[in-house]
Amino acid sequence: MPDVWSPFNLKMAETMILSWQRVLFVAMTVVQGMCWMGARECAAQFVPRYGYDAYHGYVPIYGGYGYGGGMTAAMGAGIGIGAAAQGLGQAKVDQGAYELEHTQAASQYLQAYQEYLQTVNLQREAYNERQRAAMQEYAAKTAEARAQVEAYKKDMKNRAAPHRLTPAQFDRQTGVITWPGVLRDSRYDADRYEIDKLFHERTPENSGAGSENCAAIEKATNRLLADVGKDINNLDVDEYITARHFITSLAYEARFTVNGAPAPVDR
* All structural domains of the chain with their residue ranges: 7-138, 170-253
CA 253, 258, 262, 267 dihedral sign is negative
Distance CA 217, CA 235 (A): 24
* pLDDT for the residue numbered 15: 65
Top pLDDT among 135 and 62 is at: 135
CB 258 within 8 A of CB 202: yes
Question: What are the tens digits of pLDDT across the range 27-51?
Answer: 666 556 665 555 555 555 544 555 6
Q: How far apart are CA 28 and CA 258, in angstroms?
A: 129
- Model confidence at 67, in pLDDT bands (50, 70, 90)? very low
pLDDT higher at 78 or 95: 95
First to last CA, the chain: 82
The band of 229, judged by pLDDT with boundaries at 50, 70 and 90, is very high
Torsional class of 4: left (φ above 0), alpha (ψ -120 to 50), beta (otherwise): alpha
pLDDT tens string 161-200: 778 899 999 998 888 999 999 999 999 999 999 999 999 9
**Mean pLDDT across 245-266:** 79
Q: What is the mean pLDDT of the chain?
A: 78
Which residues make beta-bridge pairs with 53? 57
pLDDT value for 162:
78
- Would you state the pLDDT for residue 201? 92
Confidence (pLDDT) at 93: 75
More confident of the two residues 80 and 135: 135
